[in-house]
Every structure is written in structure tokens, then in C-alpha cells.
Chain A
Amino acid sequence: MNTPHDIGGMHGLGAVPWQTDEPVFHADWERTIFSIMLALAGQGRFNADHFRSAREKVPAHRYLTSRYYELWLQAVERLVADVVAPDEIERWAEQLRQDPDVPVPRALDADLADALERGLREGLSTAGPVPHPRRYAVGDPVRTRNVHPPGHTRLPRYARDKEGVVDALYPAFPLPDRADDGDYRPEYLYCVRFAAEELWGDSAEPGCEVQLDMWESYLRPVDDPPSVTLRQEESR
């Protein structure tokens, strides 16, 4: 999706709000929504790509005027909408507005707490096997595809239709564009190096490079014929 989350290279945002000493969470509500997200994801209710995609679906005009964890709230609300209806949330919120001290439900489940904490400690790889060989090797020149999918993708706008060189081979992971729709077939991943001049042209700073990870679907060999769209433009 070409939405404001894909923000690399955007102007007009001002200085980086750098702080050297900040708490892990700045408020209780940040802690709560963080933990709700991980507790639900840890039980397999959604995966990392569903969650990223849900954040990307926050309306474009709201994305940049939402706090970081407020985006998490909006995403989680979307992802649990089948079991927690938006009007239920609003009803509860209204009760709390009327009486901030209204008792909220509490429940203990030591087995669940143990299992989820174990998940944090162990992690969970999504890498998997692919039944055919890789298409590219280290050192191969590659060109990224010029695509603007309306759904989730991890190919940033600033790196589309750009030439780079394969710098490293990584395991195969589910293609995010498909994983958001529940298709978790792994696809080979590559680390690709781009010269800043290739990405930013005359605006590039000297002596800079950008490394991006590219699924095979995001790449084509540089000597591949150009896409149909490009051919049509060239024949004009």
C-alpha cells in the first residue's frame, strides 16, 4: 500500500526526537496495548504481517497524527473485530468516561502467562524450505520491480524499479504480500545493496549505500525485458 507508513525519503517532518534516557513505556496505556498485542499474536490470533498490514490500513490522514502505540491500538481493534465489536469497545469506553473507577474485569491464567513468556524467550522463526533452487547468487545485479500493490508489501516505494547487487543470501520466509492473506509459502530472501545515487539520483549524499532485504518476487534480472507498461511507454 502506498500509505504514509512507507515514509523513507519523505520531507517536512522536522528533527528526529532523540532522547537518550527514556522509559520502556511512557504511560500505562502503552504498556497495556503492547502486551495485548503480544498476547494475542502469541496465541496465533494473527501474525507479524497481519499486524503490520493492519497498521498500514489506518487511514492515511490519521497515520501521522497518531502516537506510535495509538497505531497499535487501531491495528489491534481491526484484528479482533470478529470477536470484539467496535461498538462494544465504545460502550466500555463510555462507562469509563462516566466513571473512571468502574471495576474492569481481571482474570488469571498462569498456564497462559507461562506459555506466552516462553514464547518471548524462545522466539519463533517463520523461515521454511523451498522446493526449488534460488534464482540469484551473491554478486548478481538485480532490478526491483515497479509495482504499486494495493495491499501489504515490504518493498518500499523508494526502492522500486532500482538496480542493486545481491550482497547476501538469506533463508526463505513467507512473502509478506501473500502472508497477509494467509498464504505462508516461504520464498527466498536476499540482501541487496543499492548505491544511494541509484535510489536518490542527484539528491544522494556522496559515499552512501542502502541495504534492503528483497524476496525473490520483488526482483528481476537486470537483463530481463522491461515490463509491458514500460514497453508501451517506450514505443510512444
Chain B
Amino acid sequence: MSAESKPPDRDYLVPEAEVELRVKALEALVVEKGLVSTDALDRISAHYEDEVGPRDGARVIARAWVDPAFKERLLADATAACEELGIKGLRGEHLRAVEDTPEVHNVVVCTLCSCYPWAVLGLPPSWYKSPEYRAKVVLEPRRTLADDFGFPVPEEVTVRVWDSNSELRYFVIPQHPEGTEHMSEAELAELVTREAMIGVGPVTAT
């Protein structure tokens, strides 16, 4: 199942054009007053648009699948293990990787705001930050995964929800899919989706 690429349809109080205008006004003032510079703003957005993203996390997962010693280090100290692969940074200072097994499926949320392991997965997608996801997945994780993501978890498998309410940042190590023994680490990384590392989607050997 895949989701259509369309923005959520909601009734917002303020027209977007008015929000846009106010952001532009704020930008003018913080630049005028010397609080920030234009090039600094550009560099910050470029970092998250061009440099970090879920491909980084996928590299970590693929390495964990092919290298049991790395997986052990990842489970023991995800921050240090990710740094071995050159992955570190803001909102990645204290990482924890949680492992899916035949007995336990993990799913990550931040019910209070939108905490997410930026350094490993990039900025969170809109749905992760949405009131809908934050409200539902702690109360009805099975129904949310099945109905909203088309990803039912078998009833004999425990569902463990990680509510990221501190400075710890969580991501999921999905199970190594069967039938991929012939694949290289780089090929395996291609299979790992952002959804799988949040715990709302499968990894399938295609």
C-alpha cells in the first residue's frame, strides 16, 4: 500500500497567504536587527534539504543486518554506533535503536510535539507531526497501523510504542527480511524505508 502524495485537507483558522506574509515580515525584522543573517538561514535549510535524511538511517539498518557486532554496538549505544558511520548532529545527541523481533514490533511517536532523530532520519514527515498520528498511535497502535498505514501487526506480536518525550531519540531496527541473503549492504539499504524505521511500514525484499 502506498499513500497518495497530497497535503492533508484541514480547516485552518488563518489563510496560508497571511502566515506567509507574517513569516516574511519576521524574517525582515530579525535580519534587519542583526539577529540572523540571510546566508545562515540558507545554510540551515540546505543542511536538512540536501544533506541529512532517511538514507542515513537506512545505512545504519543495513549495516546492522550484515554485521552482528555492529548491531550489538547499535543496541548498546546507538549514538556511538551511528557516529562510526559518520552520522551525528542536532537531535541525534542521545539515540536509541530499538529492535523488532518475531515477538515484538516497535513504533515511535512524540505525542507532546514532534521529537524525531533528525541526525539519522532527517526532518520528520508531516504525518508524523500530525495531531492525528500523535493522538491515535498510543491509544490504538494496532488499529492505526492496520487502518491508517495498511500494515497490520499479527496479534501474537507485542506492539511496543515509544513516546519520545525526552531528549532521547528513537528509531526502529526492522527485522532483516528473508530472501535477501544475496544482497549487498548497499542494496539492503535501498529496501529500508522511513516508515520502517519509525515502525509504521514493512521492509520487503523486492
Contacts and interface: CB of A to CB of B under 8 A. Distances in A.
Contact of B126 (A22, A33, A48): A22
B112 A89 contact: no
Interface string B26-64: 111111111111111111110111000100000000000
Interface string A6-33: 1111110111111111101111110111
Interface string B10-25: 1111101001111111
B13 A208 contact: no
A36 B149 CA distance: 33
Interface residues of B, number: 97
B205 to A, nearest CB: 18
B40 A39 contact: yes
Contact of B3 (A14, A18, A73, A191): A18
Contact of A106 (B38, B90, B156, B193): B38
B141 A33 contact: no
A117 B44 contact: yes
Choose among A76, A77, A90, A116 the residue with the greatest number of B CB atoms under 10 Å from its CB: A116
Interface string A58-81: 000010111110100100110010
B99 to A, nearest CB: 13
Interface in A153-192: 154-156, 158-159, 170-171, 173, 189, 191
A83 B36 contact: no
A5 interface: yes
A34 B130 CA distance: 17
B91 to A, nearest CB: 7
Contacts of A64: 131
Interface of B: 2-8, 10-14, 16, 19-45, 47-49, 53, 88-94, 109, 111-114, 119, 122-123, 125-127, 129-136, 138-144, 147-149, 155-168, 193, 195, 200
Given A32-B27, A92-B29, 19 more contacts: A8-B112, A15-B148, A17-B8, A26-B126, A31-B45, A36-B23, A65-B11, A67-B19, A68-B126, A104-B24, A104-B28, A119-B90, A121-B47, A121-B88, A125-B167, A127-B93, A170-B166, A207-B155, A210-B161
